[in-house]
Amino acid sequence: MIKKPPGIEDIFPDKITKWNYVLETAKNIFKIYNYKEIIIPLIEFTEVFARGLGDETDIVSKEMFSFKDRGDRDLSLRPEGTASVVRALVENGEYNRLALNKFFYFGPMFRAERPQKGRLRQFNQFGAELFGSDHPFHDFEVISLMNDMAKRLPIKDYELLLNSIGCQRCRPNFILELSKYYESHYDQLCQECQRRLKKNPLRLLDCKNKDCQKLKEDAPKISSFLCQDCQDHHAEVKKYLDSAQIDYQDDFNLVRGLDYYNKTTFEFVTKALGGQNAFAAGGRYDNLVEQFGGKPTPAIGFAAGLERILLLLDDLTIDSVALDAFLIHSGGKTLEIALEIVNFLRQNNISVDLDPVNTNFKPQFKRADREKAKIAIIIGEEELEKGIFSVKNLISGTQQKIVRSELIEFFKKNF
């Protein structure tokens, strides 16, 4: 038997009902907030992510599925959506000229992480990216959008973590102090952090190693280094959150695992997910469009992990879409008529199915049950003779006889 690779899932119909429910809820809220759908490619030149996310990030340095195509070009499966949306915006003249763009996307992302509960190698994100505004209201808007989604789904007992990681003006001072602090504790750092210290000291605040986590407690805090502009921006974001009564926790170590962020960073977390506690995350990235060759365009966005959200909605029951009718026959001429009726009903937008092989009523009724059919239309020898069908309501158990010409009217009246 050939199996699927590790960290990759098949999604069977029993999961799809909830899957679609989450997506429909998300799409609804995107619409309410006036975000428009964009479809971005699964494959990009590796450069898009190396430049966008940063060479030193875990994602780029060790988690991408990269390969050469037949033309010897370096390509990668997308590990996230933001860099692709930025690349697409800069490449597209028409949208690039607009003052404000609000996009949302959905689809699979690929990261070669160690698979565990809530951490897959192929997973699905839905996300939003807003371009052309540095107004703190828009930081609030994307946070509020994700918060509305979490409430509406509903996800229980989650927290919103909030930070500002400053800008190109104030962050260097912080990084200098951070480096000094960690250099003085160099021997206590894990090997990876000793390496990070030279290349990208901010990443040390991201480390999951226990000893490094402990060191983090006394590390300098970005909040003491923010310039006036960043302080004001952060205070405004909080003001909007407060007036919308959206609770948040300050988390001064929330630097996020991607290099493109500045100012606002945030994560929606819950203990129910264990180690992989974030089900949505994002932040501001005012310099990325320019880095991709576009005109200076402030931006902010977030992405949510669909599989993690589904884990959180385990207890939620959603009625799967039921079948309108299941046709039950006893073979021979009754099957011929049943097939005719199936076609007729489908042409009239009534969802219907039948089993052309089984001629016993019992297994056919069982199948009708399994398919959650609302009505069984029975065409037996007796029905054939008299030219009328027995119609059984499988929910109430009531049964009646109707002639063929009344079938459509019957469905119109009953559903």
**Contact assessment for residue 354 and residue 339, using Cβ atoms and an 8 Å cutoff:** yes
Distance between CA atoms of 80 and 303, rounded to whole angstroms?
9
Q: Determine, following the binding rule CB under 6 A, whether residue 298 of this chain makes contact with ligand HAM.
A: no
**Contact assessment for residue 37 and residue 332, using Cβ atoms and an 8 Å cutoff:** no
14 burial via Cβ count (<10 Å: 0-12, 13-18, 19+): exposed
Q: Tell me, rounded to whole angstroms, the distance of Cα 87 from its chain centroid.
A: 20
**Tokens in use for 387?**
């030219």
Q: Determine, following the binding rule CB under 6 A, whether residue 138 of this chain makes contact with ligand HAM.
A: no
Centre a 10 Å sphere on the Cβ of residue 6 and count the other Cβ atoms it contains.
10
Distance between CA atoms of 286 and 310, rounded to whole angstroms?
31
Q: Determine, following the binding rule CB under 6 A, whether residue 134 of this chain makes contact with ligand HAM.
A: no
**Contact assessment for residue 148 and residue 141, using Cβ atoms and an 8 Å cutoff:** no
The minimum distance between CB 102 and ligand HAM, in angstroms, equals 12
Q: Determine, following the binding rule CB under 6 A, whether residue 254 of this chain makes contact with ligand HAM.
A: no
Distance between CA atoms of 233 and 228, rounded to whole angstroms?
8
Task: Map the footprint of ligand HAM across residues 267-296, applying CB under 6 A.
Answer: 278-283
**Tokens in use for 188?**
């206590």
Output 13 or 275, the one with its CB closest to ligand HAM.
275
Which residues fall within 8 angstroms of residue 69, CB to CB, at 6 or more apart? 75
Q: Determine, following the binding rule CB under 6 A, whether residue 149 of this chain makes contact with ligand HAM.
A: no
Output 298 or 305, the one with its CB closest to ligand HAM.
305
The minimum distance between CB 60 and ligand HAM, in angstroms, equals 12
Crossing angle (nearest 10°) for helices 332-347 and 407-414: 50
Q: Determine, following the binding rule CB under 6 A, whether residue 81 of this chain makes contact with ligand HAM.
A: yes
The minimum distance between CB 107 and ligand HAM, in angstroms, equals 12
Stretch that binds ligand HAM, among 165-173, 240-248, 299-307, 329-337 (CB under 6 A): 299-307
The count of residues interacting with ligand HAM (CB under 6 A) is 26
Which residues fall within 8 angstroms of residue 201, CB to CB, at 6 or more apart? 175, 178, 179, 182
Output 6 or 332, the one with its CB closest to ligand HAM.
6
Distance between CA atoms of 406 and 317, rounded to whole angstroms?
35
Provide the mask over 21-60, with x wherever binding to ligand HAM is found by CB under 6 A and - wherever it is not: ----------------------------------------
Output 105 or 411, the one with its CB closest to ligand HAM.
105
Which residues fall within 8 angstroms of residue 152, CB to CB, at 6 or more apart? 25, 29
Single out the residue of 259, 301, 337, 374 in contact with ligand HAM (rule: CB under 6 A). 301
Task: Map the footprint of ligand HAM across residues 305-324, applying CB under 6 A.
Answer: 305, 307-308
Output 111 or 374, the one with its CB closest to ligand HAM.
111
Q: Determine, following the binding rule CB under 6 A, whether residue 303 of this chain makes contact with ligand HAM.
A: yes
Task: Map the footprint of ligand HAM across residues 107-126, applying CB under 6 A.
Answer: 111, 113, 118-120, 123, 125
Residues that bind ligand HAM (CB under 6 A): 80-82, 111, 113, 118-120, 123, 125, 127, 129, 257, 278-283, 301-305, 307-308
